[in-house]
């Protein structure tokens, strides 16, 4: 089945370290998104990309950067991790926007 995958699934790191979270999809979708989930705050958009050359900041992009290496791959980087970036991170895809988004399994990141 076509799917959205994320690596790693869990990561513990220290303040100041550089971290990359990776997302891959076999759905053939052009649009990809990165969200973070915090208890009581829902899903907040970090970055989104409508194609390889079109990358846009979401509502909470400070402290994050992204790279769209190919249609199927969208990576999220934390250049210098800080403890308040501890959260559950989801990647999602859609065939067009706005339309149903398909989420990956999530990456639980802990910054000590």
Partner 1 sequence: GENVEQHPSTLSVQEGDSAVIKCTYSDSASNYFPWYKQELGKRPQLIIDIRSNVGEKKDQRIAVTLNKTAKHFSLHITETQPEDSAVYFCAASSMDTGRRALTFGSGTRLQVQP
Q: Is 103 in the site for partner 1 (CB under 8 A)?
A: yes
CA dist 88 and 14 (Å) reads 16
Contact range with partner 1 by CB under 8 A, out of 9-17, 50-58, 61-69, 72-80: 50-58
Strands (E), the chain: 4-7, 10-13, 19-25, 31-38, 42-51, 54-57, 65-70, 73-78, 87-94, 102-103, 107-111
Q: Is 64 in the site for partner 1 (CB under 8 A)?
A: no
Q: Which is nearer to partner 1, 47 or 81 (CB)?
A: 47
Q: Are 101 and 95 in contact (CB under 8 A)?
A: no
| C-alpha closest to that of 43 among 109, 100, 103, 99 | 103
Min dist CB 15 to partner 1, Å, is 27
Which of residues 29, 33, 34, 64 is near partner 1 by CB under 8 A?
Answer: 33
Q: Is 63 in the site for partner 1 (CB under 8 A)?
A: no
Q: Footprint of partner 1 on this chain (CB under 8 A)?
A: 33, 35, 40-45, 48, 50, 56, 58-59, 90, 97-101, 103-106
């Amino acid at each position: 089945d076509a799917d959205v995958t994320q690596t790693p699934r869990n990561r513990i790191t220290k303040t100041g370290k550089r971290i990359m979270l990776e997302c891959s999809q076999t759905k053939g979708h052009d649009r990809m998104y990165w969200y973070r989930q915090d208890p009581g705050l829902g899903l907040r958009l970090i970055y989104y990309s409508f194609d390889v050359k079109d990358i846009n900041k979401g509502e909470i992009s400070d402290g994050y950067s992204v790279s769209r290496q190919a249609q199927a791959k969208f990576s999220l980087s934390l250049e210098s991790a800080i403890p308040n970036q501890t959260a559950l991170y989801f990647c999602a895809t859609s065939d067009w926007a706005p339309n149903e988004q398909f989420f990956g399994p999530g990456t639980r990141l802990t910054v000590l």
